[in-house]
Amino acid sequence: MKIYNCFINNKWVKPHSGKWFYSENPANGEEWAKVSDCNSEDVNDAVKAAKDAFYEGEWSMISAAQRGRYLHRIGEVVTKYADRLGKVETKDNGKLPKNITPSLRQGQWLVDSWHYYGGMCDKFEGKLIPSEATNIHNYMHWEPYGVVAQILPWNSPLGTLFWKLAPCLAAGNTVVLKPSEHASCSILELMEILIEAELPPGVINVVTGYGKSVGEPLIEHKDVRMVSFTGGTSGGRAVASIASKQTKPIVMELGGKSPQIILPDADIDLAVNGVVSGIFPAGGQSCISGSRILIHKSIFKEVTKKLLTISKKAVVGDPLDPKTHIGPIANKNHYENILKNISKATEDGCEIILDGRTHKKDKGYFVGPTIFSNVPNSSFLAQNEIFGPVISTEPWEDESEVIKKANDTIYGLAAGIWTKDTIKGMRLANRIESGTVYINNYFNAATQSPVGGYKQSGYGRENGWEGMRCFMQTKSVWLSTKPSEPDPFL
Ligand code: NDP
């Protein structure tokens, strides 16, 4: 069995508790790795390492361009070990290798983060500000915060990490990471391979364990100056409330309940394939999964029929089998939650027309595509993030009604619009309250393009220029060239 200790100051360190917890492979229920059950003492050690690296270590001494060279090196090392990282993540959370490994290879969108921000390190220029005052120069420049805590979810550990880690380091911060207790192994494996990137000690540290025993002391630590969190909206509220006690800035990437609006003039095959691809292949365990399908009344029957036909073809099973389309649910806890939510929806009277529970197997945690029909937008099912392969459909008649419905949740992460009328699609996109809107496609993302939530789906942005700006603060410096200053009391 593989044992992962915590990673502090470029060294593997046993947890103070002397305890480890197990990672269970969700495809077969077997425990295959032990992960450190850290506590606040480990958090203190990790924050100290990150603080020393920031204030006294090499990281604070090097130029922005030199930081960039480190980031490019990380990108190269990740590519070199893409298969190894992908294999560990599949064992840890059941994600299909084809949904992890290709994106870690050179020229692909995920690994590109390292090169994009590697190049951006020395592009954040300050400026001289023309103020009213004479003989005074006012200039501003960008500075990092210091030690940043980064807290990750289990559905896509490497993906969610790269989006925050690359810009955070590019900005000059040092980091303490807390992965989800359900999926820590690919992050720890990454630390093993990063030794080859020869980062100075203390720049990246990883403490593993639970939200209460590791996440909370990390956010509360007085030397942590900023928090970047990806997780559920309720976890985000808890984190924000702790951070607010010390008015710490936070970037929040939270949950969603994203609508897919199908207009009467849509190319129906394109829309159905897009809707299905936008949720089922990842088992619905993606923050932007389009789970509320709002279909124009005139095509409701036809779209529903096609949704059923294509969804029934999905092969649910072993993520390592190349024929598999949908792998397991990432962990037992979450599997049980999904089953509970499906039962609740049926008890609430929602009509189930495809029941993914039939994909249950003797070992592992499997749920197939599940479709509920004619689900009112006000219902529990339409309002709550199930984070599983579950969609609800609802017919609509006029445009202003569907926009109201699409916006009528606490979330605002993403939305899809399917129409042949591009201008109409753009007009509707402007009225949707969400951080990302797709027209006639879904699930695209790029390092260059900002992502984030409206409403309770979060604040701050990842990716693009804004993704790095979030990890920096401005300093305004006033420099006087006046030869003398009048005595204020004369
Ligand atoms: P959670 O909010 O349950 O947990 C996220 C992380 O926060 C975990 O590491 C967890 O620790 C930690 N945590 C939870 N409570 C606290 C606390 N009080 N203090 C400090 N840390 C805490 O989310 P999940 O892991 O269940 O992830 C799924 C959610 O993430 C979904 O809602 C999904 O939409 C969202 N997500 C959002 C993305 C986006 O970009 N907007 C991308 C990916 C996912 P532990 O669980 O180990 O106890």
Residues spanned by the domain of 371: 258-439
Percent of the chain with pLDDT over 90: 96
448 contacts 464 by C-beta, under 8 angstroms: yes
Reply yes or no on whether the pLDDT at 110 is more than 90: no
Q: What's the confidence (pLDDT) of residue 271?
A: 98
Q: CATH number, domain at 190? A: 3.40.605.10
The reply to whether ligand 1 has any atom less than 6 angstroms from the CB of 433 is no
Cβ burial 230-241 (10 Å sphere, 16+ → b, else e): bbebebbebbbe
Q: CATH number, domain at 326? A: 3.40.309.10
Q: Residue 405: inside a domain, yes or no?
A: yes
In the predicted model, what is the mean pLDDT of residues 263-274?
Answer: 98
The reply to whether ligand 1 has any atom less than 6 angstroms from the CB of 230 is yes
Could you tell me which of 443, 98, 130, 468 has the C-alpha nearest to residue 279? 443
> What's the token pair of residue 355?
């029941």
Task: Quickly state the pLDDT bin for 109 (edges 50, 70, 90).
Answer: confident
Q: Residue 486: inside a domain, yes or no?
A: no
Q: Residue 288: inside a domain, yes or no?
A: yes
Reply yes or no on whether the pLDDT at 108 is more than 90: no
- Atom number, ligand 1, closest to the C-alpha of residue 156: 43
Whether 29 and 113 map to the same domain: the answer is yes
Tell me the pairing of strands 250-253 and 458-459. antiparallel
Whether 133 and 37 map to the same domain: the answer is yes
Q: Residue 278: inside a domain, yes or no?
A: yes
Q: Residue 490: inside a domain, yes or no?
A: no
> What's the token pair of residue 19?
């305890």
Query: What's the gap in Å between 211 CA and the centre of ligand 1?
Result: 9
The reply to whether ligand 1 has any atom less than 6 angstroms from the CB of 210 is yes
Give pTM, 2 decimals.
0.97
| pLDDT per residue as tens digits for the range 302-315 | 999 999 999 999 99
| pLDDT per residue as tens digits for the range 422-447 | 999 999 999 999 999 999 999 999 99
Task: Quickly state the pLDDT bin for 131 (edges 50, 70, 90).
Answer: confident
Task: Quickly state the pLDDT bin for 133 (edges 50, 70, 90).
Answer: confident
Whether 110 and 143 map to the same domain: the answer is yes
Task: Quickly state the pLDDT bin for 318 (edges 50, 70, 90).
Answer: very high
Q: Residue 402: inside a domain, yes or no?
A: yes
433 is an active site residue: no
The reply to whether ligand 1 has any atom less than 6 angstroms from the CB of 364 is no
Query: What's the gap in Å between 231 CA and the centre of ligand 1?
Result: 3
Reply yes or no on whether the pLDDT at 420 is more than 90: yes
Nearest CA to ligand 1 atom 23: 231
Whether 321 and 301 map to the same domain: the answer is yes
The reply to whether ligand 1 has any atom less than 6 angstroms from the CB of 159 is no
| pLDDT per residue as tens digits for the range 466-486 | 999 999 999 999 999 999 989
Which of 185, 287, 350, 470 is an active site residue?
Answer: 287
Q: Residue 446: inside a domain, yes or no?
A: no
Spatial separation of the C-alpha atoms in residues 186 and 331, rounded to whole Å: 15
Nearest CA to ligand 1 atom 9: 180
| pLDDT per residue as tens digits for the range 9-64 | 999 999 999 999 999 999 999 999 999 999 999 999 999 999 999 999 999 899 99
Whether 272 and 393 map to the same domain: the answer is yes
Query: In total, how many domains does the chain have?
Result: 2
Could you tell me which of 278, 289, 241, 223 has the C-alpha nearest to residue 48? 223
Reply yes or no on whether the pLDDT at 89 is more than 90: yes
Whether 146 and 12 map to the same domain: the answer is yes
Whether 213 and 282 map to the same domain: the answer is no
Nearest CA to ligand 1 atom 31: 232
In the predicted model, what is the mean pLDDT of residues 379-383?
Answer: 98
Q: What's the confidence (pLDDT) of residue 243?
A: 98
253 is an active site residue: yes
Whether 60 and 112 map to the same domain: the answer is yes
Whether 290 and 427 map to the same domain: the answer is yes
Task: Quickly state the pLDDT bin for 457 (edges 50, 70, 90).
Answer: very high
Whether 204 and 346 map to the same domain: the answer is no
Reply yes or no on whether the pLDDT at 107 is more than 90: no
Cα four-point dihedral sign 315, 103, 277, 292:
positive
DSSP 130-159: --S-TTEEEEEEEEE-SEEEEE--SSSHHH
Q: Residue 383: inside a domain, yes or no?
A: yes
Q: Quick check: helix, strand or coil at residue 365?
A: coil
Spatial separation of the C-alpha atoms in residues 244 and 307, rounded to whole Å: 45
Spatial separation of the C-alpha atoms in residues 22 and 184, rounded to whole Å: 10
Nearest CA to ligand 1 atom 17: 211
Q: What's the confidence (pLDDT) of residue 402?
A: 97
The reply to whether ligand 1 has any atom less than 6 angstroms from the CB of 253 is yes
In the predicted model, what is the mean pLDDT of residues 368-383?
Answer: 98
| pLDDT per residue as tens digits for the range 156-198 | 999 999 999 999 999 999 999 999 999 999 999 999 999 999 9
Amino acid type, 279: I
Starting at the edge strand found earlier in the chain, the sheet holding 127-129 runs: 127-129, 136-144, 472-480
Q: What's the confidence (pLDDT) of residue 423?
A: 97
Task: Quickly state the pLDDT bin for 134 (edges 50, 70, 90).
Answer: confident
1 contacts 32 by C-beta, under 8 angstroms: yes
- Name the phi and psi angles at 468, rounded to 5: -90, -35
Q: What's the confidence (pLDDT) of residue 405?
A: 98
Whether 144 and 7 map to the same domain: the answer is yes
DSSP 1-70: -EEE-EEETTEEE--TT--EEEEEETTTTEEEEEEE---HHHHHHHHHHHHHHHHTSHHHHS-HHHHHHH
Spatial separation of the C-alpha atoms in residues 141 and 33, rounded to whole Å: 45
Whether 132 and 227 map to the same domain: the answer is yes
- Atom number, ligand 1, closest to the C-alpha of residue 451: 40
